[in-house]
């Protein structure tokens, strides 16, 4: 992805930064300072709203012209949105909800020019994740490790939890934290418009 427009990632997730670097983007990191509030039960709507709030929060602090990427990821299982576990007990509860069945991961993304020269773009991508049945020992061992602690849904698909992944339907990167394929396609169109406005 080639552009002279400086890109800001409104997230402190090292995984999102790494995913962007794979497609040739080395963003400035500027986490948003919003308090995350979800007023909807629809996970796709929730992540779109939160990605928009994050991008707007960061864009409002900027003096000159940047492209801001906001993103938010949630896991939905049995109609319930799973956030990040605060304790190992919470992690074990979340793993019990997802083992042996299928859940869905949603990442919302907002692309925004800080000078509003181009209308913002917001979209969400959904990936289904099929998880093998796990024994009580496997659940306890995984939940007591460090890996689940800062992850939505209490697992890292790219970590030790890969042992329990039967398969997915959709973009794998979306589960890690950014739908890289859809994001690249959206960025191409967005940057093309933004460069005409410079």
Least distance (Å) between residue 163 CB and a second copy? 4
H/E segment holding residue 74: strand 67-77
Query: Given the complex with a second copy, which of 29 and 132 has the nearer CB atom?
Result: 132
- State yes or no: residue 164 binds a second copy (CB under 8 A): yes
Give 67's strand partners.
7, 113
Burial 134-154 (b: 16+ CB within 10 A, else e): beeeebeebbeeebbbebbbb
Candidates 17-25, 41-49, 53-61, 86-94; binding stretch for a second copy (CB under 8 A) = 17-25
Query: Given the complex with a second copy, which of 49 and 109 has the nearer CB atom?
Result: 109
Specify whether 78 is catalytic: no
- State yes or no: residue 189 binds a second copy (CB under 8 A): no
**Tokens (6 digits) for 127:** 């990936």
* 145 Cβ contact partners less than 8 Å away, ≥ 6 residues apart: 160
The residues that are catalytic are: 72
- Interacting residue ranges for a second copy, rule: CB under 8 A: 1, 19, 22-24, 127, 132, 157-160, 162-173, 180-182, 184-185
């Amino acid at each position: 992805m080639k552009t002279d427009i400086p890109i800001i990632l409104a997230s402190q997730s090292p995984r999102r930064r790494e995913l962007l670097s794979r497609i040739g983007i080395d963003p400035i990191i500027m986490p948003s300072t919003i308090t995350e509030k979800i007023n909807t039960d629809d996970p796709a709507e929730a992540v779109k709203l939160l990605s928009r709030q994050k991008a707007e929060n960061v864009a409002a602090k900027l003096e000159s012209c940047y492209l801001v990427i906001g993103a938010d990821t949630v896991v939905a299982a049995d109609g319930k949105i799973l956030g990040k576990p605060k304790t190992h007990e919470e992690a074990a509860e979340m793993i019990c909800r997802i083992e042996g069945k299928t859940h869905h991961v949603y990442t919302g993304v907002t692309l925004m020019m800080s000078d509003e020269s181009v209308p913002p773009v917001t979209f969400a991508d959904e990936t289904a994740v099929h998880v093998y049945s796990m024994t009580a020992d496997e659940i306890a061992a995984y939940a007591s490790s460090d890996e689940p602690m800062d992850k939505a849904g209490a697992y890292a698909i790219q970590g030790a939890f890969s042992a329990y992944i039967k398969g997915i339907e959709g973009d794998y990167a979306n589960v890690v934290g950014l739908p890289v394929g859809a994001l690249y396609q959206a960025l191409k169109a967005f940057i093309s418009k933004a460069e005409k406005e410079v």
